A and B are shown apart, each in its own frame.
Chain A
Amino acid sequence: MAAVNETPAAVPPAAPPRAKRPGVLERFAEWTSERSNPIVVRYARQQLRSRGFIILFSTVLGFATLFAITVGATAAERSEGDAALTLFGLLAAIWAFAVWVFEPIAAFRATANERDEKTWDLVRLTGLSPGRLIWGMFLASVLQGLLYGAAIAPFLVMAYLLRGISLDEILFVLFLIPVAGWCASAGAIFLGSVSSTKGARNALGVLVAIVAGFIWFSTLTVWLNFDFTGHFVLSGLIDGPGVVLLSNFAVIWIGAMLVLGGTVLRHPASNRSTAPRLYAWLVFLNGVVWSLFVGDPFISEALTVAAFFGALAAFLLGIFAITEDYTITPRQYRETRHMRPWQLPIIFAPGAARGRAAYLALVAAIAAVVAVAYALDDGGGRLREPMVFTILICAHGTLLITICDAIARKTQRLDNPVMRRVLFVSVFASLAFIGSVITSLAGDRDPIAALTPIPGMWIIADRPGRFEEQLLLIVIAGGAAALILLIQAIRGTTVLERTVATKKAPEPVATREPATEPAE
Chain B
Amino acid sequence: MSLVEITHLSRRFGNVQAVDDVSFSFDAGQVFGFIGPNGAGKTTTMRILAGLDEPSSGDCRIAGLSTIDDADTVARRIGYMPDDFGTYPNTTVFEYLDFFARAYGLKGAKRDNALADVIDFCQLGGLSEKLVTTLSKGMRQRLGLGRTLVHDPEVLILDEPSAGLDPRARVEFRELIRLLARQGKAVLISSHILADLQEICDAVAIIELGRVVATGTVKDIKRDVQARVVERARAEGSRAVVELRIAQPVERFPNILAEQAEVSEVEIHDTIASLSCPADPEAQAALLARLIAAGLPVCHFATRDHNLEDLFMHLTEGKVQ
Footprint of B on A, CB under 8 Å?
Answer: 1-4, 34, 38, 41-42, 45-47, 49-50, 113, 116-128, 267-270, 329-331, 334, 498-500, 503, 505-513, 515-519
Contacts and interface: CB of A to CB of B under 8 A. Distances in A.
A329 B99 CA distance: 31
B183 A506 contact: no
Contact of B57 (A1, A4, A498, A516): A498
6 contacts: A269-B54, A498-B59, A499-B59, A509-B25, A509-B216, A512-B202
B255 interface: no
Nearest to B117: A1
B312 interface: no
Nearest to B95: A45
Interface residues of B, number: 78
Contact of B179 (A4, A34, A269, A498): A4
Contacts of B59: 498-499
Given A118-B84, A498-B55, A519-B182, A509 B215 contact: yes
B121 A515 contact: no
Given A118-B82, A270-B71, A500 B216 contact: no
Contacts of A512: 201-203, 217-219
B181 A515 contact: yes
Interface of B: 2, 5-8, 23-30, 32, 47, 50-52, 54-55, 57-59, 66, 68-72, 75-76, 78, 80, 82, 84-91, 95, 98-100, 102-105, 107-108, 117-118, 120-121, 123, 147, 149, 151-152, 175-176, 178-179, 181-184, 201-203, 215-220
Given A42-B88, A42-B99, A498-B57, 9 more contacts: A45-B95, A113-B86, A121-B82, A267-B51, A269-B54, A498-B58, A511-B203, A515-B28, A518-B182
Nearest to A514: B29
A112 to B, nearest CB: 12
The 3 closest A-B pairs by CB, nearest first: A515-B29, A118-B86, A119-B86
Nearest to A507: B25
A122 B32 CA distance: 22
B29 A511 contact: yes
A498 B69 CA distance: 9
Contacts, number: 178
Nearest to A498: B59
A135 B56 CA distance: 32
A145 B66 CA distance: 43
Contact of A34 (B78, B108, B176): B108
Contacts of B2: 508
A125 B54 CA distance: 14
Q: Chain B at the A interface: mostly helix, strand, loop or mixed?
A: mixed
Nearest to A49: B90
Contact of B71 (A331, A500, A515, A516): A331
Contacts of A125: 50-52, 75, 78, 80
A268 B31 CA distance: 30
A127 B52 contact: no
Contact of A122 (B76, B147, B202): B147
A15 B51 CA distance: 45
B88 A515 contact: no
Contact of B121 (A4, A49, A123, A506): A4
Contacts of B24: 506, 509
A309 B136 CA distance: 55
A516 B182 contact: yes
B95 A519 contact: no
B96 to A, nearest CB: 9
Contacts of A505: 5, 7, 23, 25
A350 B70 CA distance: 17
Nearest to B147: A122
A126 B89 contact: no
Contacts of B152: 1
Contacts of A267: 51, 71
Contact of B69 (A113, A123, A269): A269
Nearest to A53: B90
A50 B90 CA distance: 6
A128 B66 CA distance: 19
A117 B259 CA distance: 64
A157 to B, nearest CB: 33
